Amino acid sequence: MSELRTNRIIPRDGLVSGASGGIIQVVQNIQGIGQVTSSGTSEYDLGLNCTITPQRSDSKILVNANWCAIQEGAFYVNYYLNRGTTHIHEYQTYQGTGSWTVAYPNMMFLDSPATTSAVTYKITAQVTSGHDLRTNYNSGSGDDGTVHGALTGYGSRATMILMEISG
């Protein structure tokens, strides 16, 4: 015997006017683009992006992004969350060894784009010195056994999930 209990069910379009917190839609992008390398100090695109078209202009967008990075040497890396071409959030990492170090950065941010037009979020990175930074990196190649198919060369999966939340 099973039993399902709930206090309420929130409709797909979110909560009634004046209430907030209902999930309206979820969009995900999984990138298997392979390794992206920077050995300079210019900001560069990780290739991790996702687009959502909010159904309501008062909605908030919860952005959750995960990727793998490996760096040689001790230096800071600034990761930026961009809405279009505008930085809206920054995450800084430091790895303090002289040899290759692996990191798994995660960025989570609640944005208020105030639009019902398509919005694209993407992650960019900038190293603070001329050291080598590799993102979407892993030490193997080949089919990872998922529906996403084979990885070409070196490259791990990077994921961005966008959730529209009623405002």
Q: How far apart are CA 84 and CA 86, in angstroms?
A: 6
The kind and range of the H/E element at 60 are: strand 60-66
Residue 136 belongs to some domain of the structure: yes
Q: Which of 7-16, 67-76, 143-152 has the lowest mean pLDDT?
A: 143-152
Tell me which residue of 30, 31, 46, 55 sits closest to 79, measured CA to CA: 46
In the predicted structure, residue 33 carries a pLDDT above the cut 50: yes
The tokens describing 116, both together, are: 């019902």
Residue 8 belongs to some domain of the structure: no
The tokens describing 163, both together, are: 């959730």
| Overall number of domains in the chain | 1
Say which amino acid occupies 64: N
2 contacts 121 by C-beta, under 8 angstroms: no
In the predicted structure, residue 129 carries a pLDDT above the cut 50: yes
Residue 133 belongs to some domain of the structure: yes
In the predicted structure, residue 140 carries a pLDDT above the cut 60: no
* CATH number assigned to the domain comprising residue 115: 2.60.120
Residue 22 belongs to some domain of the structure: no
Residue 37 belongs to some domain of the structure: yes
Residue 6 belongs to some domain of the structure: no
Residues 6+ apart with CB under 8 A from 58: 114, 166, 167
Residue 31 belongs to some domain of the structure: yes
Confidence of residue 17 (pLDDT cuts 50, 70, 90): low
Provide the domain limits for residue 32: 27-158
The number of beta carbons lying within 10 Å of the beta carbon of residue 46 is: 23
pLDDT of res. 92? 86
Residue 100 belongs to some domain of the structure: yes
pLDDT of res. 154? 45
